[in-house]
Amino acid sequence: MEKVKIFIHRLLIPHEENNFRAKSLHADFLTVYLVIAFLMMMVFKQANLHNVLGFATDISIDKLYQLTNEQRQKNNLPTLSLNSALSLAAQRKAENMLTENYWSHYSPDGKTPWDFILGANYKYEYAGENLAKNFLFSNGVVDAWMNSETHRTNILKKEYTEVGYAIVNGTLNGEQTTLVVQMFGTPIAGSFSPPPVQAEEISKNSLLLPTAKPIAENKVRQILAQKTVQPNMSAFKFTFNFNIIFMAFLLLALALDFYFASKFNIIRVGGKNIAHFLFIIFILVGLFMSTIGTIV
Amino acid sequence: MIRSFSFHLKKELKNHLFDYLLLITAGIFFLILLNIFRGQRVTEFIILVAFALFYIIWGVYHHIANETLHLKTVVEYILIAFIIIFLLKIIILP
């Protein structure tokens, strides 16, 4: 225990044994951090953290579905079941936005969300659509929707019974982006609609899916394929959290080093802690800003 | 401790007011540009690199102005700037 105490003292507090500068801020330690950061960058590049378009996000259909239902449960509403036809409509809508280069509920040639839903052979009594882009995390998407009155109304509409999702990466208006499309619906009683697919079933192998008509099975497979566009999500989340923790550690080391060096009037050769501190704070704010996308 | 920290912080900022205002202004520009080009990953990364380079230049300028420039100091600014660039590259431009 005493050894740990001495180690932390040397690591964070400037005194004669660490040449009056916190060991964690010495050039050799900074070089080690740099090498680790470089290796991480190379490993994640080799491990194909990104998809073909060079994107890394931690948005998943399972998480969006779970968060949406949590919001409904909080408001004493029945949960929605995941519907493969609505997911197919969402997928087609996302692809159409990328192909025709627009960011709206309505396409330039007049296609409405309802056209995509009907095109997926989903006969609805009620239907709705939420869109989001540029988010890094699923909870960011659902939080943004919940903070917007119109999107919130969709999520909490008691008439809806089913939901479908698509997460598609591509280039929109020259900007590489991740589009999230959420389609809601209530089928007309008695009309054909592919059977609802539960989230647990979707995450399993397609062979485990319930037997359905061939057309529905095909759609489910397409949704499964679409999910594979988001690889290694936990690795991305790990990297994001690692960055936050590492920067918080650096901020702590800089603050303690500055405080004790000022307190004991230590004069030494080295960079200005306040400048490093400000630089890292701006970077952290920028990092959090990059997690926020836009919704329509 | 917090009062003492705040006292030393104010003293340091007051002694080099122009330099720190310059760095804070650059930081605010960095955030504004990030906001304008949000979602354009390559541009975001270029903005990050530009801010990191500015930070190194700021460090050199500040220490020249205070006649405290030393190779060790420059290396420290370069190391911190590149650690941040490498770490954020994984997120912004994997």
How high is the pLDDT of residue B3?
76
* Distance from C-alpha of A34 to C-alpha of A214, rounded to nearest angstrom: 54
Quote the minimal CA–CA distance from A54 to chain B in Å. Answer: 6
* Distance from C-alpha of B85 to C-alpha of B94, rounded to nearest angstrom: 12
How high is the pLDDT of residue A191?
55
How high is the pLDDT of residue A134?
82
> Is B8 buried (19+), middle (13-18) or exposed (0-12) by CB count in 10 A?
middle
How high is the pLDDT of residue A49?
55
Q: Cα angle at A67 between A63 and A71, to 5 degrees? A: 170
pTM for the whole thing?
0.73
CB-CB neighbors (< 8 A) of A272 in chain B? 12, 59, 62
How high is the pLDDT of residue A55?
56
Quote the minimal CA–CA distance from A270 to chain B in Å. Answer: 5
How high is the pLDDT of residue A254?
93
How high is the pLDDT of residue B57?
97
**Check: complex ipTM more than 0.90:** yes
How high is the pLDDT of residue A80?
95
CB-side neighbour CA atoms (13 Å) of B65? 12
CB contact under 8 A, B40 and A174: yes
How high is the pLDDT of residue B94?
62
CB contact under 8 A, A258 and B8: yes
Distance of CA A243 to CAs A129, A247, B13, B84, Å? 34, 6, 27, 9
- Facing residue for A40 by CB, picked from B27, B90, B93: B90
Say how many Å lie between the first and final Cα of chain A, rounded.
55
Q: Is the Cβ of B3 closer than 8 Å to some Cβ of chain A?
A: no
Nearest Cα residue to A87 out of A294, A225, A210: A225
Reading the block at residue B9, the tokens are 């912080």
How high is the pLDDT of residue A169?
86
Backbone CA torsion sign across A71, A74, A77, A78: positive
Q: Say whether pLDDT at B12 is over 90.
A: no
Quote the minimal CA–CA distance from B5 to chain A in Å. Answer: 6
Sheet holding A162-172, edge to edge: A81-82, A162-172, A175-187, A124-133, A294-295
Tens digit of pLDDT at every position of chain A (296 positions)? 888 888 888 889 888 888 888 999 999 999 999 999 999 888 877 766 554 334 557 788 999 999 999 999 999 999 999 999 999 999 999 999 999 999 999 999 889 999 999 999 999 989 999 999 888 888 889 999 999 999 999 999 999 999 999 999 888 877 778 899 999 999 987 555 554 444 433 333 322 233 333 333 334 333 333 443 444 556 777 888 888 999 999 999 999 999 988 888 888 888 899 999 999 999 999 988 877 777 88
Average pLDDT over residues B42-63: 94
CB-CB neighbors (< 8 A) of A253 in chain B? none
